[in-house]
Amino acid sequence: MTLTNKVGDKALDVVVVATGMPKRGMGWYHLTQLLDMENANVVGVVEPFFLNSALCSNPPESFTSMVSELEAAGVTCTDSIAKLPKFEKDTVCLIAGRTADNPKFFKACIEQGAKIVYLEKPGAPSVAELEEMRDFAEKQGVKVYMGYNKNVTPYVQKALEKSKEVDGSHVTFCHNNSYKTDELEECFTRNAEGMLKNMAIHELALLVSFFGVTVDTVDDFKLKTDTEYTEQLTIAGYTDFSKIGFTVKTKSGSEVSVMADRCGGNVSYASVAGVDGAEVAKFEFPDEDAQKKLEVQTKEDPEMMPYFFIQSDDYLTLKNTVIESVLENKSAGNVATIQVAIDALKLAEHFTAEASKILQG
């Protein structure tokens, strides 16, 4: 961490909302990167649980020592956005709270004067809440970007570039997690909103961003009903997919496929096939070199959440792109907007209903 305040027109004020625990919370990891970024000036940290003595009377030492360092460097640390001074300068609020809490954090940040919000996905539990947040931000002239890191990750960009070189190309995005079968109960319970609203929401954001897929543009939804690709289970009262595979065709004729498997392992990929259906290229994440590097990093720092190491570059690219877009008054490129998040969440609800209907015959 570089605990120095940066001044002038080359750094943008940033407030991080909901850091969580050091080495565990997504907000904490964003904070550590922001402190090292030359174009970001962290002026405030809001942690509604650990900094609220009524909720947490004895926060862990790793958290309290971090707060002491931040406060010594002039960073305001508090449990509420409303307790920060009103934002006089252009300020980015990065919100990384629990999905259910994010709408109230979002509103509070804008009321405090934030001009840009970076919101961790999916942003809110429902389409209606996201739409309400979008409308509120638009009325206040606030730009909202989402932390969909796959929109900028190299393996996706390589597949998209390759697909442009191949006549009649077809792209498949495969997202794997490494749960064991006996861990699915915990997985289903913790992610009760369902696979397409959490795990595979990244891929749906790619469909919206790069293939023009929305509920209104879908012409055909083909579910791969073979159990090799799709399995719907009811565990502990929750009905969800342990894996799913489908192809979407839009009214304009573009086609793209998605596969997701809770128990598929650590490696995800994007593949490109030619007009004959034969695969011409496959881009894995993490690739072999990244996996070797990850093994070393996790041994050196076993307390750190492994995905921070894996996705570190993506997180940095997203934040840097958003901040530079404000400083230089330019587009944030492929970074997902709140409208992309709304369309992705709508697709999640639509495809879940369609797939369930097909499986029930």
Range ranked top by mean pLDDT from 48-57, 187-196, 225-234 = 225-234
Q: What is the pTM of this model?
A: 0.91
Which strands make up the sheet holding 116-119, listed edge to edge?
76-78, 40-46, 12-17, 91-95, 116-119, 143-146
Where do you find CATH 3.30.360 in the chain?
150-304+336-359
What does the alpha-carbon distance between residue 183 and residue 189 come to, in Å, rounded to a whole number? 10
Closest of 266, 304, 313 to residue 286, by C-alpha: 266
Give the span between the Cα atoms of 87 and 84, in whole angstroms: 8
3-state secondary structure of 50: coil
Our measurement of the distance from residue 154's CA atom to the centroid of its chain's CA atoms, rounded to an integer in Å, reads 15
Report d(CA 210, CA 213) in Å as an integer: 8
Residue 336 has what DSSP assignment?
-
2 vs 22, which has greater pLDDT? Answer: 22
pLDDT tens digit sequence for 124-172: 989 999 999 999 999 999 999 999 999 999 999 999 999 999 999 999 9
User: Which amino acid, 171?
Assistant: V
Q: Which residue has the higher pLDDT, 6 or 107?
A: 107
Please state, for a pLDDT cut of 90, what percent of the chain lies above it. 78
Q: Is the pLDDT of residue 3 over 70?
A: no
CATH for 150-304+336-359?
3.30.360
Q: Phi and psi for 234 in degrees, rounded to 5?
A: -115, 115
Query: In which band, very low, low, confident or very high, does the pLDDT at 248 lie, cut at 50, 70 and 90?
Result: very high
Q: Which CATH superfamily is domain 12-120 in?
A: NAD(P)-binding Rossmann-like Domain (3.40.50.720)
Confidence at 50, pLDDT banded by 50, 70, 90: confident
Instruction: Output the six-digit token pair for 156.
Output: 């996706």
* Start-end of CATH 3.40.50.720 domains in the chain: 12-120
Average pLDDT, the chain: 93
| Cα–Cα distances in angstroms (integers) from residue 188 to residues 122, 232, 304, in the given order | 17, 11, 24
